[in-house]
Amino acid sequence: MKCNCLVDDLILAINTATRALSGKTAIAALEGIYLQSEDNRLSLTCSDLNICINTSLAAMVEEPGEIVVPGRLFSDMVRRLPAGEVFIETAGQSVKVVSGKVRFSVSGIAGEDYPTMPALAQVNPLVLSKEQLRDMVRATLFACATDESKPILTGALFEVKEESISVVALDGYRLAIYRDVPQNHRLPVDFVVPARYLSEIARTLGDGKEDISLYLGQNQMMVDLGNTRITTRLLEGEYIKYQAILPKEYATRVRVSPKTLLESVERASLMASAGKNNLIKIAITDGSLVLTANSELGDVYEDMEIEKEGKDIEIAFNARYLMESLRATGEKDVYLDFNSNINPCVITPVEGDRFLYLVLPVRIYGA
């Protein structure tokens, strides 16, 4: 291998690829970055065999080649190079890097020893904009389970229909649903993406609005961003029939600004978090929502105006679960629907059905 590129471009590529870099592992090559140069492109690949990130940058390639370099060391060295061009050349299993008056060399591993994930056939993609996928992740990822006792719930369910897509996450305490319309039509399919890998995909998207393609294979998904491709394993198993837990009606409906209510809950949570269960209480009567919290250090009381229809209700929540759902709405006003103080609160937009958040209450004995 003999090529040269811009240091800044190489640093950006390293920052992207190393999000999938393995830590200590029995397979030494997975602790490295797989470099490959050909056709005036330099590509970098990192993988832990559950997620693989491949990204490429423009380069002047004099001799094509491949090698695996120590991931952490190579990354740290390149990030400290002076701006300008960097020249990379291999001799056997050694890599020489030159930038200005700086030169360093590292020992590598033969490129053919780098493990790869199975290739996916790039046919029949699901096409979304970067903005759509970012919004889907932002609106649902917080509700994925972190408890590995139910592995399928540690991911987000993608339900793709011919003209719509829904992303669903739940952890037993709250549920999040976000709906959108893809840029193309495809056959219906359901798949579950691990939350930690979905988070990495979202971080790699950047701020653009360009279309991206998602390809599906046997227990795998590949996201094609153009110069970057991310392949991840999917979770196996049947997702919970979440539709069965969605209330069909309500006894109390409140129209409220989620921003205003969130600010109130955040204030109350400062007191609630000093207690044992981060508990806040909400009392809803005609035109009024009273929010209270207390701990051994004191108490807080706040009264806000609302629009209400239906019965009065008193109900309690874990402050964090309610805050995360309110924060995700991004709306001027939302509906909060209730049936009783032991049934979940459902948060929906005033118009349309773009999202739905369900938050289970905390039961207060004697209430």
Q: Report percent pLDDT > 70 for the chain.
A: 99
Q: How many domains does the chain have?
A: 3
For residue 185, what pLDDT band results from cuts at 50, 70 and 90?
A: confident
The number of residues making up the chain comes to 367
For residue 276, what pLDDT band results from cuts at 50, 70 and 90?
A: confident
pLDDT, residue 321, reads 96
Give the lowest-confidence range in 7-21, 54-68, 184-198.
184-198
Token pair in block for residue 108: 């590598």
Whether residue 36 sits in one domain with residue 15: yes
Q: Average the pLDDT over 327-349 and give the result.
A: 96
Residue 98, domain member (yes or no): yes
Nearest C-alpha neighbor of 281 from the set 262, 296, 302, 305: 302
| pTM higher than the cut 0.85 | yes
Residue 179, domain member (yes or no): yes
**How far apart are the C-alpha atoms of 167 and 156, rounded to whole Å?**
6
Q: What is the domain extent for residue 315?
A: 246-359
Question: Quick check: 38 and 8 in contact, CB under 8 A?
Answer: no
As a dihedral over the C-alpha atoms of residue 284, residue 290, residue 291, residue 297, rounded to 10 degrees, the angle is -140
Whether residue 153 sits in one domain with residue 225: yes
pLDDT, residue 218, reads 85
Whether residue 107 sits in one domain with residue 14: yes
Q: Average the pLDDT over 317-329 and give the result.
A: 96
Mean pLDDT of the chain: 94
| pLDDT at residue 263 tops 60 | yes
Question: Quick check: 82 and 99 in contact, CB under 8 A?
Answer: yes
CATH number for the domain including 253? Answer: 3.10.150.10
Question: Quick check: 143 and 171 in contact, CB under 8 A?
Answer: yes
pLDDT, residue 365, reads 65
Vertex 193: Cα angle to 191 and 195 (nearest 5):
150
Whether residue 80 sits in one domain with residue 52: yes
Whether residue 280 sits in one domain with residue 226: no
Nearest C-alpha neighbor of 273 from the set 322, 313, 337: 322
Whether residue 301 sits in one domain with residue 223: no
Domain-terminating residue out of 211, 243, 275: 243
Question: Quick check: 191 and 234 in contact, CB under 8 A?
Answer: yes
pLDDT, residue 305, reads 92
- 3-state SS assignment for residue 332: coil
Question: Quick check: 260 and 323 in contact, CB under 8 A?
Answer: no
For residue 366, what pLDDT band results from cuts at 50, 70 and 90?
A: low
Q: Average the pLDDT over 135-155 and give the result.
A: 95
CA atoms within 13 A on the CB side of 173: 16
pLDDT, residue 206, reads 85
Token pair in block for residue 311: 């019965």
**How far apart are the C-alpha atoms of 329 and 356, rounded to whole Å?**
9
CA atoms within 13 A on the CB side of 78: 29
Residue 118, domain member (yes or no): no
Domain-terminating residue out of 83, 113, 143: 113
For residue 216, what pLDDT band results from cuts at 50, 70 and 90?
A: very high
Residue 119, domain member (yes or no): no
Domain-terminating residue out of 218, 243, 268: 243
Whether residue 281 sits in one domain with residue 331: yes
| pLDDT at residue 19 tops 60 | yes
Residue 366, domain member (yes or no): no
Q: Average the pLDDT over 8-27 and give the result.
A: 93
